[in-house]
Amino acid sequence: MSKKITNTKTDKELIIEILLRLADDRLIHGHRLSEWTGHGPELEEDLALANVALDMIGHAAALYRYAAVIEGNPDEDYYAYFRDDIDFKNVAMVELPKGDFAYTITRQFLFSVYSYFLYEKLIETVENEQFNGMLQKHFKEIKYHLRHSREWVLRLGDGTKESHERIQNAFDEIWMYTGELFSMDETEHTAIEKNLFVDVSELKAPWLEFVKETLEEATLSLPDDDQYMFTGSRQGRHTEHLGHLLAQMQFLRRSYPDADWK
């Protein structure tokens, strides 16, 4: 017998919560990628990372905009600039410091594989027309993000001894943050009943298979999946890194809240 899930959120609060979870993941990850602007290992990759960062921040902006419309909030910037770290719904993986290039590529790859399977399933499930339209548009760019990061995993893994060691270390370090990509809470269970979300636990198997096949091709080892997994970020229990990131990202907007930015 399945456990009955109780959630007191209204339908409006529920869709806003789902929109914010998707948007926060992409805003924070996009910000981390933007830190590579001007510092990429080569000019083409500098531009590629900047473009991926713009894609992700653009995805977040569209999701925030729709959440603001639903909530009746005239200032969509509120979600990005005037919430504290405990209010953000992103997974911990995306808020970790950017690290070296191999670390960034590893995180981008793991998150892109997750996003690919998540959006593919969401497009089949979500009945809200405007929400589904955004998902379809963003999915086209997610496919590029996945292809780009996978090519770099292969290149670094099967490259020099140093590149191999660096990206293997990155997978080993980040792996403990992958578990919460597939954990479910009451909000998500209720959203599934409303055709606003999908059971992310069912995405674990195809995600793991894709990652495993890529690592084998890159001559890399799959980390131990039975290790401790970080949890709680969806409920506001973040690492210390998010607070530092938000302090930088929000400083100017909070310092001049009434400024005209046009």
Q: How confident is the model at residue 1 (pLDDT cuts 50, 70, 90)?
A: very low
Q: 180 near 234, Cβ under 8 Å?
A: yes
- Residue spans per domain, the chain: 11-255
Q: How far apart are the first and last CA of the chain?
A: 56
Buried b or exposed e, range 9-44, using 16+ CB within 10 angstroms: eeeeebbbbbbbbbbbbbbbbbbbbbebeeebeeee
Show the tokens assigned to 12: 């409006």
Provide Rg for the chain, Cα atoms: 18
pLDDT digits (tens, 9 = 90+) for 61-89: 999 999 999 999 878 889 999 999 999 99
Average pLDDT, integer, range 220-249 = 94
pLDDT digits (tens, 9 = 90+) for 219-233: 999 999 889 999 999
Q: Which CATH class is domain 11-255?
A: mainly alpha
pTM of the model: 0.93
Percent of the chain whose pLDDT exceeds 70: 96
- CA-to-CA dists, residue 250 to 84, 85, 184, 244, angstroms: 10, 11, 30, 10
- CA-to-CA dists, residue 38 to 42, 95, 178, angstroms: 9, 20, 29
